[in-house]
Amino acid sequence: MEITIENIILVGSILLLISIIAGKTSYRFGIPTLLLFLTIGMLAGSDGIGGIHFDNPKIAQFVGVVSLNFILFSGGLDTSWQSVKPVLKEGIMLSTLGVLLTAVGLGYFVFLITDFSLYESLLLGAIVSSTDAAAVFSILRGKNLALKKNLRPTLELESGSNDPMAYVLTIAFLSLVQYPESSILSVLPFFFLQMVIGGVLGFLFGRLSKIIINRIKLDFEGLYPVLTIALMFITFSATDFIGGNGFLAIYICSVYLGNQNLIHKKTIMRMFDGMAWLMEIVLFLTLGLLVFPSEIVPFIGIGLLIALFLIFVARPLAVFISLIPFRMKLRRRFYISWVGLRGAVPIVFATYPLLAGIDKAHMIFNIVFFVSITSVLIQGTTLSMVAKWLHVGLPQKAKPLSPTDELLSEHPKALMKEIKIEEGCPAAGLKIVNLNFPKKAIIAMIERDGNYLTPNGSTVIEANDKLVVLTDKVEILEKVYDSLSLNGDIFQEQD
């Protein structure tokens, strides 16, 4: 077949369609969708039935970085600060000390059983040291797995925030492999600059992005997600240009934005949710195309040893040591250890040695690929079963509803209140997004001059408006009145 732009689009769209259809049915057989995407990519590659030759780590790395931007940003937008705040310390310990201990422990094991140098072994350990955000988010949310005692926010916080640490360790150990005469202490300034600059700029860009989104007036609602994408990439690239960790910056920026009142927030979040799925599929297909299964076969033995050591020794030890300062039941620590899914991120990081041209780059890449597949296959297919064994899962009927589900469900205590905005009310002239409205209440409609409007975040409240407010608790109405600067009796007639 002659390679043209049209043919590339045709093949790409067919692979995408196959991945979506296959992913829809994969969970019936307990197969994680991400593993399926990888398999489809490999089948379409040079060693598969598709015969598509793709051997360009630079393009794969570019696709990986762009995809991780969307995946981390979407995960951050969906992260509730109220659910994360109680487990913030545990999450930070797991995403920093836990990653470091995993990298060092696994690296030393690789050094003992292979002919890798110490720095090469630590490089391999660093590459697979973080749990994969795409794998954890998609499997936990795809299975709708409910867990006890803040386990789920802990796992999602760890997976969303530990990629920056793994990236810094990968770059640091890669430089030591390239320049072995350097001291390991020489990478410490690089590490601290990456994390500090990334964290600070992530928060600052988050605040700046909120101001830009809420104050800029665009003619079309569909442009607000586009604006947010631009701000996301600016946050990543500007932070990286200054010397900070771009992955950490966009995650912190997105967590901040996800917990603020934004114009057209629902539209933005829905778009990023869809884009995150698209990027996951594209990323795994690309990485599947990049690998040559015939080159992995010679490393199956050593890869299996490394994968099993990572799953059953290095990861659990790192988790248990990291969580020593915290009170937590043993079975919960075991479950956190088990949800150490490796996926696309280690494979993306494994392209850095390939582009650097170090001696054992291809060996490292193939081992990392095998370890990632083994992790998703063993751990990803057993999350629900292990949760049941350890008694850390909630029954189906006890799964907590999201605020939106609670609000819109047909609950016998649901309340709908009509609130009149009088002349001189401080809320008049303000956009809804600037009202600091309670998250468990919504303005369903606005009656204005005899007409009913469906409001959004950019709608300006006017004098004589009648707001139709929907909530589920009387005490939430108190907060509604506070946000509108009203002192009315909330127990007046309710519809």
Tens-place pLDDT, residues 260-308? 888 888 889 989 988 988 888 888 888 888 888 888 889 999 999 999 9
- Residue 232 included in any domain: yes
In 3D space, the residue among 99, 102, 101, 118 whose CA is nearest the CA of residue 110 turns out to be 118
Q: Is residue 108 part of a domain?
A: yes
User: Does a structural domain hold residue 466?
Assistant: yes
Instruction: For residues 311 and 409, give the distance between their C-alpha atoms in angstroms, rounded to a whole number.
Output: 41
Q: What is the pLDDT at residue 411?
A: 42
Ranking 197-201, 254-258, 262-266, 367-371 by mean pLDDT, the lowest is: 262-266
Residue-wise pLDDT tens digits, 60-113: 999 999 999 998 899 889 888 888 888 999 999 999 999 999 999 999 999 999
**Total domain count, the chain:** 2
Domain match, 357 and 413 both: no
Contact present, 481 and 431 (Cβ < 8 Å): no
Q: Is residue 26 part of a domain?
A: no
Q: Contact 435/454 with Cβ under 8 angstroms?
A: no
- For residue 340, pLDDT over 50 is answered with yes
Residue with more model confidence, 393 or 356: 356
> Which pLDDT does position 306 carry in this prediction?
96
Say yes or no: 225 and 119 in one domain. yes
Q: Which amino acid is at 248?
A: L
Q: Is the dihedral of CA 253, 169, 135, 243 positive or negative?
A: positive
- Among residues 86, 79, 93, 94, the alpha carbon closest in space to that of 206 is found at 79
Of 351, 370, 389, the last residue of a domain is: 370
78 and 192 part of one domain: yes
- Per-residue H/E/C for the chain: CCCCHHHHHHHHHHHHHHHHHHHHHHHHHCCCHHHHHHHHHHHHECCCCCCECCCCHHHHHHHHHHHHHHHHHHHHHCCCHHHHHHHHHHHHHHHHHHHHHHHHHHHHHHHHHCCCCHHHHHHHHHHCCCCCHHHHHHHHHHCCCCECCCHHHHHHHHHHHCHHHHHHHHHHHHHHHHCCCCCHHHHHHHHHHHHHHHHHHHHHHHHHHHHHHHHCCCCCCCHHHHHHHHHHHHHHHHHHHHCCCHHHHHHHHHHHHHCCCCCCHHHHHHHHHHHHHHHHHHHHHHHHHHCCHHHHHHHHHHHHHHHHHHHHHHHHHHHHHHCCCCCCCHHHHHHHHHCCCCCHHHHHHCHHHHHHCCCCHHHHHHHHHHHHHHHHHHCCCCHHHHHHHCCCECCHHHCCCCHHHHHHCCCCCCEEEEEECCCCCCCCCCEHHHCCCCCCCEEEEEEECCEEECCCCCCECCCCCEEEEEECCHHHHHHHHHHCCCCCCCCCCCC
State the pLDDT at residue 45: 78
- The number of residues making up the chain comes to 495
Residue 445 lies in a domain: yes
Indicate the angle between helix axes 163-178 and 118-127, nearest 10 degrees. 160
User: Which pLDDT does position 273 carry in this prediction?
Assistant: 87
pLDDT band at 338 (very low <50, low <70, confident <90, very high): very high
Quick one: 266 and 347 in the same domain? yes
Check which CATH number belongs to the domain holding 423 and give it: 3.30.70.1450
Q: Evaluate whether residue 14 is within a structural domain.
A: no
State which amino acid sits at residue 250: I
Last residue of a domain, one of 370, 390, 419: 370
Higher pLDDT residue, 393 or 312?
Answer: 312
Q: Are residues 412 and 350 in the same domain?
A: no
Question: Could you tell me what percent of the chain has a pLDDT over 90?
Answer: 37
pLDDT (0 to 100) of residue 143:
56
pLDDT tens readout for residues 106-159? 999 999 999 999 999 999 999 999 887 666 766 665 555 667 767 888 888 888
Confidence band of 412 (pLDDT split at 50, 70, 90): very low
pLDDT of residue 233: 97
Averaged pLDDT for residues 182-208: 89
Work out the angle at residue 191's Cα, subtended by the Cα atoms of residues 190 and 195, and round it to the nearest 5 degrees: 115
Tell me if 50 is assigned to some domain: no
- The pTM (predicted TM-score) of the whole model is 0.78
Q: Give residue 492's pLDDT.
A: 43
**Same domain for 76 and 183?**
yes
The Cα–Cα gap between 462 and 425 comes to 9
Task: Identify whether residues 168 and 238 lie together within a single domain.
Answer: yes
Structure confidence at residue 228 (pLDDT): 96
pLDDT of residue 112: 96
Q: Does 432 lie in the same domain as 361? A: no
Q: In the structure, what pLDDT confidence band is assigned to residue 494 with cuts at 50, 70 and 90?
A: very low
The pLDDT value recorded for residue 366 is 93
The residue ranking higher by pLDDT, 408 or 34, is: 34
> Is residue 19's pLDDT more than 90?
no
The CATH number covering residue 139 comes to 1.20.1530.20
Residue 409 scores a pLDDT above 80: no
The two tokens of residue 462 are 């006017």
Looking at residue 370, its pLDDT comes to: 92
In the predicted model, what is the mean pLDDT of residues 379-401? 73
Across the chain, mean pLDDT equals 84
Ranking 43-52, 106-115, 138-147, 377-386 by mean pLDDT, the lowest is 138-147
What residue numbers bound the domain in which 455 lies?
403-483
Asked if 227 and 278 count as a contact pair (C-beta separation under 8 A), the reply is: no
Is the same domain home to 159 and 90? yes
Asked if 352 contacts 140 with a C-beta cutoff of 8 angstroms, the reply is no
Task: Note whether 194 and 255 are same-domain residues.
Answer: yes
On whether the CB atoms of residues 269 and 70 are closer than 8 A, the answer is: no
Same domain, 85 and 221: yes
Does 181 map to a domain? Answer: yes
Range of weakest confidence among 24-38, 95-109, 371-385, 399-413: 399-413
Q: How confident is the model at residue 405 (pLDDT cuts 50, 70, 90)?
A: very low
Sorted by sequence, the CB contacts under 8 Å of residue 369 that are 6+ apart come out as: 287, 291, 296, 347, 350
Higher pLDDT, 187 or 200: 200
Same domain for 330 and 455?
A: no
